[in-house]
Structure 1
Amino acid sequence: MTVGYFRFAKGTDLGPALAGLPGDMCQCPHWGYMLEGTLLMRTPSGDHTYEAGQAFYWAPGHAPEALEDCAYVDFSLTAQLQEVLRHIQNAGG
């Protein structure tokens, strides 16, 4: 498992960076806790909003967008997370 601390500025949308992954979404599961702000999570079953103070489980198949400046801590399967991060880095050029 990898523990991560993530901060996204309002308007950050990872959807475009996830294009090319199965379903054009992150396929790594995450368990975590929202520390501040509001995050929209797009999933095949519909959109879900997470706010500061909420614990979460994001199953494979999700794409986040920050509705406000936000921060969260999460726990992810290391090998799967590394695959997604490599894809995002390569999407950036």
Structure 2
Amino acid sequence: MGPALKGLPDDACQCPHWGYVLKGGIRMRTAEGEQTYEEGQAYYWSPGHVPLIEEDTELVEFSPTEEFEKVIDHVVSQAGA
């Protein structure tokens, strides 16, 4: 996701997320470093993160709609560039 987030503050997702990893795993890069989340783990990601997905992963995630739409709109505009 890193390239798709370029242009946002700190080139990172600015939407908070709460969720649970159902399958696979995901690494999350933040200003504090990287952390890996695996199947069976719950998480909270504050604004300012960059996901690094290296395998098929299934998540259940909750995010504030307005902030999430801003990030998605940016990602879509990056894809069209």
4+ residue segments displaced more than 2 Å: none
2:8 is the alignment partner of 1:16? no
* Identity among equivalent pairs (%): 54
- 1:34 deviates by 0.4
RMSD: 0.6
TM-score, normalised by the number of residues in structure 2 = 0.96
- Alignment correspondent of 2:72: 85
TM-score, normalised by the number of residues in structure 1 = 0.84
Alignment gaps of 5+ in structure 1: 1-13
Alignment gaps of 5+ in structure 2: none
Q: How many residues align structurally?
A: 80
Structure with the larger helix share: 2
